[in-house]
């Protein structure tokens, strides 16, 4: 971290101070996190939307980019603003914008298509074929740990005034929603694991007849648990924090069972639970993720959500056994990344339902709030008492 991180930064040396804003992010050449002055974005194209950012949350990706000093700065720049989970208010719109007006609350998606492939042409850049996409706060576009952002009409999902508290949850929820949508489609390939037709995967509820294991009770594991419990799936959540930690308390309030990952082997855990229809992996730790592949139940789906980076300790696995099981037990291991505006809309709707089904949970899940200037504190400790970390940037 840089203690006197107030040096000015802007791509144009003649930029007027009135047109700069604060941003927290990474520098290409120097490891650490910095608070910089960067140029305030402006409306340039017809479909542009200028957003004044109200709150931005951070997640494992932000920590990972910092820790591993991964800096895909925008072209010709050497600074990348972090953050990709945001809610803000529209301050200006381009002449061609019709569905969004000044004053609206919006949360923008973070990926921008390659402009080449069929997926991006259909506004489904989360399935981009070329890999030449950009992502706000991650790959080649500034993120939202700053005061303003320019997005385009098609990427801005409108939120209502009641949604302010859940706004920063929409992006990560959309990631989980997309993966569960895929899981539902995959599971329809096989007969259901219980004998009740009303609990088939194309039904809305499963009344405890379906079982899931969530690996990790961080923000994404919490959202995965929310989805599973909202659909009445018997849910087990594996974590390695003490049982009285906020993470465990939250999952218990959702009616999920805590599994102490330190005391039991994956084999013992799976034997105790029995048939598990879906594993939702949200640890980003490859040793944990791999250990449970070997333990998958028949006809089950494994949703890989974490993005592991280099781990210090190398792990050994019986690859023959893993591959044999996958084939002989009809297992599906599914990687799922990113989400599009459609998933954002679904996520917003689902979160509104959650506000009624589990009142106060989304608010409680935000354990820490910081101002941009407190970026060092916000990014510094990673104790078990933190769930979602949010930066409050401007008044709603
Ligand atoms: C974001 C995704 C993104 C992924 C990989 C995640 O944290 O939520 O939108 O695609 O990181 O860059
Ligand atoms: Zn049943």
Q: Which residue has the higher pLDDT, 310 or 366?
A: 366
Ligand 1 atom 1, closest CA: 338
- Mean pLDDT along residues 11-19: 56
Ligand 1 atom 6, closest CA: 61
Rounded CA separation 126/269 (Å): 34
Predicted confidence at residue 384, as pLDDT, reads: 67
Q: Does residue 393's CB lie within 6 angstroms of at least one atom of ligand 1? A: no
Rounded to the nearest whole angstrom, what is the distance from the C-alpha of residue 200 to the centroid of ligand 2? Answer: 7
Beta strands 134-136 and 140-141, pairing class = parallel
Predicted confidence at residue 11, as pLDDT, reads: 45
Rounded to the nearest whole angstrom, what is the distance from the C-alpha of residue 330 to the centroid of ligand 2? Answer: 21
pLDDT over threshold 60, residue 286: yes
- Mean pLDDT along residues 296-316: 85
Q: Does residue 179's CB lie within 6 angstroms of at least one atom of ligand 1? A: no
DSSP codes joined into one string, 230-293:
HTT-EEEEEE-S-TTSHHHHHHHHTTPEEEETTTS-HHHHHHHH---SEEEE-S--HHHHHHHH
Q: Does residue 85's CB lie within 6 angstroms of at least one atom of ligand 1? A: no
Per residue in 378-395, pLDDT (tens digit) is 998 666 689 999 999 999
Per residue in 154-180, pLDDT (tens digit) is 999 999 999 998 999 999 999 999 999
Q: Does residue 109's CB lie within 6 angstroms of at least one atom of ligand 1? A: no
Rounded to the nearest whole angstrom, what is the distance from the C-alpha of residue 61 to the centroid of ligand 1? Answer: 7
Rounded to the nearest whole angstrom, what is the distance from the C-alpha of residue 85 to the centroid of ligand 1? Answer: 10
């Amino acid at each position: 971290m840089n203690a006197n991180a107030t040096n000015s930064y802007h791509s144009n040396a003649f930029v007027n101070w009135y047109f700069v804003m604060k941003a927290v992010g990474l520098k290409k050449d120097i490891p650490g996190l910095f608070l910089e002055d960067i140029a305030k974005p402006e409306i340039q194209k017809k479909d542009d939307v200028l957003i004044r950012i109200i709150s931005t949350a951070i997640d494992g990706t932000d920590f990972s980019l910092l820790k591993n000093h991964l800096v895909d700065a925008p072209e010709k720049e050497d600074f990348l603003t972090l953050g990709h989970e945001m809610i803000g208010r529209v301050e200006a719109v381009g002449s061609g914008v019709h569905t969004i007006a000044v004053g609206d609350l919006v949360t923008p998606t973070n990926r921008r298509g390659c402009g080449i492939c069929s997926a991006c042409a259909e506004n489904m850049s989360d399935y981009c074929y070329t890999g030449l996409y950009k992502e706000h706060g991650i790959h080649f576009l500034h993120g939202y740990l700053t005061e303003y952002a320019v997005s385009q009409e098609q990427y801005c999902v409108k939120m209502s005034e009641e949604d302010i508290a859940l706004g920063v949850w929409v992006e990560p929820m959309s990631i989980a929603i997309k993966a569960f949508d895929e899981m539902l489609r995959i599971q329809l390939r096989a007969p259901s694991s219980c004998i009740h037709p009303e609990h088939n995967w194309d039904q809305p509820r499963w009344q405890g007849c379906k079982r899931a294991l969530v690996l990790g009770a961080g923000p994404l594991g919490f959202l995965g648990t929310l989805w599973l419990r909202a659909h009445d799936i018997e849910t087990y959540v594996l974590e390695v924090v003490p049982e009285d930690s906020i993470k465990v308390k939250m999952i218990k309030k959702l009616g999920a069972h805590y599994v102490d990952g330190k005391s039991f082997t994956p084999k013992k855990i799976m034997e105790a639970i029995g048939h598990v229809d879906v594993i939702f992996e949200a640890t980003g730790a490859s040793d944990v993720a791999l250990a449970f592949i070997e333990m998958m139940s028949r006809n089950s789906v494994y949703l890989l959500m974490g993005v592991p980076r280099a781990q210090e300790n190398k792990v050994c696995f019986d690859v023959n056994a893993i591959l044999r099981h996958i084939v002989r037990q009809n297992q599906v291991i599914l990687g799922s990344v990113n989400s599009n505006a459609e998933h954002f809309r679904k996520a917003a709707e689902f979160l509104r339902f959650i506000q009624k089904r589990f009142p106060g949970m989304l608010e409680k899940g935000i354990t820490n709030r910081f101002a941009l200037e407190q970026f060092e504190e916000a990014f510094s400790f990673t104790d078990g008492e933190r769930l979602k970390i949010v930066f409050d940037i401007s008044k709603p």
